[in-house]
């Protein structure tokens, strides 16, 4: 924006040249044949080019700001999603551990009932299968 706005400012260029030729350089002829050129550029009418370029630079700056905040928002959302995934994974692990403990306790009870002939071997095998699934 600043560089585009600076195009509105006038500019002054100075150039100087001296042709020494083949003659010996003498102090009394040192300032002869010296060319000095001043160029003053004042941007008054340039068909709106300066106005357009300044407006475009401002729009580009705003777009960059919007893109930055959009990227920040996307990163924040990704972090929130990742954290929720971590919490979900922890809950799943804890639930699986509790299910394994419950299945082991159920197997222990079924084994005692089989020893007392209250349950069949099929019930024992089903309970062992549930324990293996829980693990």
**What does the pLDDT read at residue 128?**
82
Cβ–Cβ < 8 Å for 7, 44: no
Whether pLDDT at 2 is above 90: no
C-alpha distance from residue 2 to each of 36, 53, 55, 96 (Å): 31, 11, 11, 62
In this prediction the pTM is 0.48
Instruction: Give tens-digit pLDDT for 45-88.
Output: 665 566 777 788 889 999 999 999 999 999 999 999 999 999 99
**Sign of the alpha-carbon torsion through 116, 117, 121, 124:** negative
Instruction: Give tens-digit pLDDT for 26-40.
Output: 666 666 777 888 888
């Amino acid at each position: 924006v600043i560089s585009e706005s600076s195009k509105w400012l006038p500019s002054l260029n100075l150039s100087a040249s001296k042709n020494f030729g083949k003659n010996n350089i003498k102090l009394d002829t040192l300032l002869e044949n010296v060319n000095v050129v001043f160029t003053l550029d004042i941007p008054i009418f340039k068909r709106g080019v300066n106005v357009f370029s300044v407006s475009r630079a401002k729009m580009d700056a705003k777009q960059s700001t919007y893109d930055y905040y959009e990227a920040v928002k996307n990163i924040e959302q990704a972090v929130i999603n990742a954290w929720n995934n971590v919490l979900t994974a922890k809950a799943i692990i804890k639930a699986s551990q509790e299910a394994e403990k419950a299945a082991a306790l159920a197997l222990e009870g079924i084994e005692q009932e089989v020893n007392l002939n209250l349950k069949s071997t099929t019930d024992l095998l089903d309970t062992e299968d549930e324990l293996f699934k829980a693990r």
